[in-house]
Structure formats: C-alpha cells, structure tokens
Structure 1
Amino acid sequence: MGMVGAYMRVSEDELAGVLHDPDQVEELLDDEERQTDIDKAWHGLYFLLTGETDLNEIDRHSLGKAVFGGDVIDEETGMAYLTAAEVSDLAERLHFVELSALEARYDATAMNEQELYPFERDWGPEEKLYLLEQFDELKRVFKQAARHDEALITWIG
C-alpha cells in the first residue's frame, strides 16, 4: 500500500481537544468521511512547492505546510495540524499556484538523484502528470476545509 499523505477536517473545538489530550485523535479517526489523502504524492508535491527534498528539515513556514501541516501534535506518529486560519491562508495561496509553475519546477533528474518517494529513481513524464492530478486534490482539500472554517490534522501513514 505505501505511505500516503492524509488529511482530516476537524472543528477548532475538536482540535483544541486533541491538543489538550492527543489520545482524542483516535476517536476522530473513526470518522472516515472527514478524511482524504493525496496518495503517495506527498514528497513530490513538497518538492514542487518548496524546492526542498530533505525531510529532516521540513519547512513548516512555507507552502510545505500544505503537505506536512504546521505544529506537530505527536512526534511518534508525525501527526501535525493547521488551524482554521492557517487552512484558509493556505487555501488562498494554493489557489494562486499556477500549474505551469509546478510543471517548470518538475525536475526528474534531481528527483531521481534524491530518490523522492514513492518512485525513487523512476520519476519521468507520467509521474509528473500524477503529481499535477494530486495537486488538484490538495487544493480541493484545503478549499473544502476553508469553506467550512475547519482546521486540518495531517499525517503520513
């Protein structure tokens, strides 16, 4: 199956509860209707949005937050979150990202050299199309959450 970039929409009150007691997230995870994912495109999208490949120094202050979230809830699980205000800001910023700009940043040679997940050394033209399709899903996730004034919990799992 592999590791997918997952998102769960939550209210600000639910987020506050999780931040107070991180174990509460387990109960929220039962509601699969509020969850979606960007499949295995998270590393490639992170690269296209930030120009960075190193996951040891995740940039949580740029568009990279759209992939990995902001502050970390739980180091062990890697779950992070974005407040409703951050979601709204990122939804607007993602809306203005031109597909042509992402296409221009696509560098299969660099991505293969850095062995970006999931294709490692097999990035090519078809994989670029895959990333662009998943970028549309990423924008949809943020637009939907912003429209409902929701926060997001993110994780790779």
Structure 2
Amino acid sequence: MIACYMSLTDEIADQIAGLGTLEEVIEQIEDLSVRDLCPLYEMDKLWDGLHYLLTGNPASEPIENHPLSEAIVGVHDLFAEDGGFISAIGCDELGKIITELKQVDRQALKNQFSIASFQKAKIYPNIWEESKREELATELLRELEGLLRFYEESEQAHRDVLISIY
C-alpha cells in the first residue's frame, strides 16, 4: 500500500466527488497521474510510520480534529475499502495543517523514534529494524518535509488535496 497526495483544481475535485465507486475514483486518480495533470507527492510506504511518529497512533486509528493526523490521512473520508482509502483536504483546511507541521520539533521526533514501539504497534510496512534506525528516522523526516512543501504549494495555488492509500 502506497500513499499518493494529489493537488486538485476545484473542477477536478468536483469531477472526482461526482464519481460513485472506489474503482472509478482510483481509475480517475491513475489517469490524472499518468497524464501528469495534477501535482503529486508520493510518500510510498512510509505513511503509517509518519502518522505514528507524529501522533502515537497508527494511521488505521486516525485522530479527529488533529492536524498532524489529518496531514497524513486527510480530513474528509470519501471511500474506504479493503484496508485502502481515499480522503480529501480542502484548500481552506491546509493552513491549520501547515502551521502544525511547521511547529513539529524535528529533533525531538528523531530522538523519540523507537523501533521497538513501531514493531509493537505493527506499523506498516514491516521494515522497522534496529539496525536501520538512523536511516528510517532520516527517511521519515524527509517525508515530513516533502509533504509540508507539497501542502504549502497546494495552498498557494488554492488547490484541494486528494489522498489515496491503496
């Protein structure tokens, strides 16, 4: 399962909102992606780990009205099926998320990163090995910075964000 964040114009967001099934939404996302019509941020497989690092909860247990949780899994659930889901963040909701992401103490996150905790919580994917602690911590923080930049660019362009994890 990989996470893809897509920056959408109002027109494209309305088209997607009008689709009836998860399969139709996935097909539309993949078509937009292939045709390079919307800016993308692909987090690949570290979405659950970053959610856990930021919130202490796996992404399967999102925290309502928690900007750091919403940064990873979105604000508005659109579809959920077979462990995957599609959600959205409105452009007007990005400011709060961006502010919270900027305030995160990166060094504190790195210091509190515990492989044992990730293993105990069964954070996806099963890559959390003590021998890779530094490398994984660096990757998680890199994803945090990439997602923050993507959200800032989306907000500046007055775009909504569609999050797909499947």
Alignment-derived partner of residue 129 in structure 1: 138
Alignment-derived partner of residue 153 in structure 2: 144
Alignment-derived partner of residue 99 in structure 2: 92
Q: What RMSD over aligned residues (CA atoms) do the two structures have, in Å?
A: 2.1
Distance 1:20 1:137 in 2: 30
Alignment-derived partner of residue 51 in structure 1: 56
Alignment-derived partner of residue 2 in structure 2: 4
Gaps of 5+ in 2: none
Cα offsets for 1:58-115 (capped at 9, x unmatched): 2242111111111111123510001011123212221222211321331111112222
Shift of 1:121: 4.5
Distance 1:52 1:44 in 2: 9
Gaps of 5+ in 1: none
| DSSP-derived class of the 1:21 partner | coil
- The alpha-carbon distance between structure 1 residues 75 and 105, as it changes in their structure 2 partners (threshold 3 A), is same
Deviates more, 1:83-92 or 1:41-50: 83-92
Identity of aligned residues (%): 21
> Where do 1:9-20 residues align within 5 Å?
9-20=7-18
Corresponding residue pairs, total: 154
TM-score by length of 1: 0.85
- The alpha-carbon distance between structure 1 residues 121 and 93, as it changes in their structure 2 partners (threshold 3 A), is closer
Shift of 1:22: 4.4
The one of 41, 45, 54 equivalent to 1:40 is 45
